Structure 1
Amino acid sequence: MNARTSARTSAQGLDVLYTAERDVTGWQQRHARGEVPGRWPYGLDELAAGGADVRAVGLPEPGRLRSAVARLAPGVAALASPAGRRVAVAWDENVAHRAAVLAPRTPLHAGAIWVTDAVARGRDDDATRARVRALRRADGVWCLSSAQLEPLERLLPGVPVSLLRFGVDAGFFRAAPPVERPLVVSAGGDRDRDATTLFAALEEVLRARPETEVVVQSRSTATAPVGVRVVPHLPHAQLRDLYARASAVVVATSPNLHVSGMTVALEAMATARPVVVTATPGVEDYVVDGVTGHLARSGDPASVAERLVALLDDPDAAAAAGRRGRERVEADLNTARMARDLRAIVGVGSGPAAAAVPAAPAR
């Protein structure tokens, strides 16, 4: 039995790692007030549902001076606790990097999100190399897009790589009835969002259907067309309410491997809203073209606009697509199923359900 297999089969619990800045305790308080989905970010508190002993740990940023004293930080001290054989779970490569620096001997399973695109685009800076090193020391790595599997297998020789399909909180994002007033919504602003294509498409939509209201949550500096209301930030609860008023939700991205915009697409589907998403590799893991929404050509405003107008012109078909999207979230693309799959990937948890313990303090 090799070291990776041994770490998997002998684990007694999970330490779910977050950056200290994420402030899981504060997130739990906001969740209790109904402000955010999931008791922990990404719904990872549901890892405890399989009987696993699960706790959240916040890791500080390892700087040159802080690395020498990092083990004094509460989060790192929690990782060093001798309370049985434990495995750490890092949602992405940035958290995995902190774990590699601060607790290098802790068995680790990690997600990979942005590193595949960074490598594909030829980035060879210190940050990218550090994250690749962190993933190479992991006992296992998962990704959220099938398009990342082959690149990660090449990048991480000897490290088991798994597909973990993402899920959202189907209780927080509830199905809403169809609306009468036409409203198109877009949200999100990560590095792969294509605001230029989005705004050009929305300009075409407004030209064809000027009665349509359009709201975009984005921090992009691109100039929005007349008639598009841009909001820099919306809290989760307000964004959920905006989805509920929408006729359709649109996500435009540049080509990428990690399915930028999947969260918005699934939140909209959970709200029973049809989606229009640009067709990048891996997106069909989440959106079924012509069933739960429509896929448009990347970088093609006319393609995006055509699909939005089709939904606006056929409310019955749009409502049916929204219902099918909600059904898919309820059946599969939710945090409970994601947590089950992640427990299987990590090899922890069986038997009766157990409650997640409070987050370890982090500074």
Structure 2
Amino acid sequence: MRDITVAFPLERDIEAWERAHAQGIVPSRWPYGLDELAASGSRRRVGLGELARPMRAWSLVRSSIPDRSTGRAVVTWDENAAARLPATRGISRHSGVIWLTDGAASSHDVRSRVRWLRQFESLWVLSSAQIAPLRDLVGRHGPRISSVAFGVDHEFFGLRSYPSRPLVLSVGGDRDRDVVTLYRAMADVKRSLPHAEIVVQTSSSLEPPEGIARVARVSHLELRELYARASVVTIATRPNLHVSGMTVSLEAMATGRPVVITGTPGMRDYVQQGVNGLIVSPGDADALARQTVALLRDESRGRELGMAGRVSVVASRTTADLCAGIRRAVDGPVE
């Protein structure tokens, strides 16, 4: 088992994150729970500078990144952080890949990142649907590729009692969220159930339909309380391979809330239709609204799916599970 160093971009300010975690403000001691990756008694991290300052970045990491010959490794969360990790002989480098498989393979940015990542020993993705496209990008003689299941802090996002007042919540603002479809669906929900409260957290500039509350940003604590108040968490995304919406769906499930979400490739790694959530086709606002309304009208079904979601997260989708998967990806096959 290798001793792992986790490398974060400097702007992440891990010290501030640790202080916030100690105060109960954010989940996990490090982002994504990556503190659980560090070897017992050797919990190390290093900071990565901007690409425009490669020498500064190197000065920050060269004394901390272990040599491969010692059985140690350095890990970055995604390809953006990986691009800041200097290449040098004797260093075992490993990284997650999130966005690359959804980019145009012919673009200059994708080509340059692929060339860089080919030098890594292993890569992992958070969606099984990304394995084949990433292998096509890096080539069959490229780094070892693994699929690792994402996980959330199931203690920070703990089980909460089911609400007495109906509220539909939608959260998230990454580039693959489908706000147009979401707003169409929520307008239908509001027409069907005028008494239901609907809250959408989004950075989109699109005006929401009448009767729908939009918030631009929420803290982790505010988000946790919104999950607790929600009867249903509904998420609409455009087709993508990186499973947009998986974080929100797992956090909601950990809280014991039913999820209605777009069924993009890889989503079934996290949400199983009719078991711990409901899945609809991309762009299908009618189905999104119909499934949401059905859960609002059938509270016992909502409770059932919410509890099943909680059980599935605790069983195999926690930050500990995530880190165990990353460690397996880093260590590689047993000789």
- Give the TM-score normalised by structure 1: 0.87
Q: CA deviation at 1:106?
A: 2.5
Query: Superposition pairs for residues 1-363 of structure 1, below 5 Å?
Result: 11=2, 13-48=3-38, 51=40, 53-63=42-52, 66-72=53-59, 74-79=60-65, 84-100=70-86, 106-119=91-104, 122=105, 124-125=107-108, 127-157=109-139, 158=141, 159-347=143-331
CA separation in 2, counterparts of 1:106 and 1:86? Answer: 8
1:85, distance to aligned residue in structure 2 (A): 4.5
CA contact under 8 A between 1:93 and 1:134: conserved in structure 2? no
> Aligned partners of 1:225 and 1:104: how far apart in 2?
57
Task: String of CA shifts for 1:188-220, please: whole Å, max 9, x gaps.
Answer: 100100110011110000010110101111100
Point out the more displaced range, 103-112 or 133-142. Answer: 103-112
Deviation at 1:53, TM superposition (A): 3.3
Mark the runs of 5 or more structure 2 residues left unpaired by the alignment.
none
| Corresponding letter in the other structure for 2:138 | L
Deviation, structure 1 residue 303: 1.0
Between the aligned partners of 1:296 and 1:242, the Cα distance in structure 2 is 23
Counterpart residue identity of residue 93, structure 1: E
Q: Could you tell me how far apart the structure 2 residues matched to 1:84 and 1:239 are? A: 42
Residues 1-54 of structure 1: CA distance to partner in whole angstroms, max 9, x if unpaired? xxxxxxxx7x4x211111111111110000001111110000011113x64734
Counterpart of 2:20, as a letter, is R
What CA distance in whole angstroms lies between the structure 2 residues aligned with 1:123 and 1:316? Answer: 50
Describe the SS at the equivalent of 1:58: strand
Q: Does the aligned pair in 1 maintain the 2:257–2:305 contact within 8 Å?
A: yes
> SS where residue 210 of structure 2 aligns?
coil
Distance of 2:328 and 2:66 partners within structure 1? 24
Query: Does the CA-based 8 Å contact 1:27-1:36 persist in structure 2?
Result: yes
TM-score (norm 2): 0.94
Q: CA deviation at 1:344?
A: 1.7
After superposition, the Cα gap between the structure-2 partners of 1:123 and 1:175, relative to the gap in structure 1 and judged at 3 Å, is: farther
Aligned residues: 330
SS of the aligned residue for 1:79 comes to coil
Amino acid across the alignment from 1:129: R
User: What SS does structure 2 have at the residue aligned with 1:185?
Assistant: strand
**Equivalent pair of 1:199/1:224 in contact (CA under 8 Å):** yes
| Separation (CA, whole Å) in 2 of partners of 1:144 and 1:82 | 25
Task: Work out which structure has the larger RCO, using CA pairs closer than 8 Å and 6 or more positions apart in sequence.
Answer: 1
Question: Following TM superposition, by how much is the alpha carbon of 1:75 offset from its aligned partner in structure 2, in angstroms?
Answer: 3.9
Q: Output the CA distance in 1 between the equivalents of 2:69 and 2:199.
A: 50
Kept after mapping to 2: 8 A contact 1:97/1:134: yes
- CA-CA distance at 1:282 after TM superposition: 0.4
Q: Kindly provide the amino acid, as one letter, of the partner of residue 86 in structure 1.
A: R
Going from structure 1 to structure 2, the CA distance change for 1:259 and 1:153 (only over 3 Å counts) comes to: same
Q: 1:128 to 1:100 in 2, by over 3 A?
A: farther
Q: How much has 1:79 moved relative to structure 2?
A: 2.6
Contact residue 192 and residue 253 of structure 1 kept, 8 A: yes
Where does the alignment leave 5 or more consecutive residues of structure 1 unmatched? 1-8, 349-363
8 Å CA contact 1:100, 1:134 repeated in 2: no
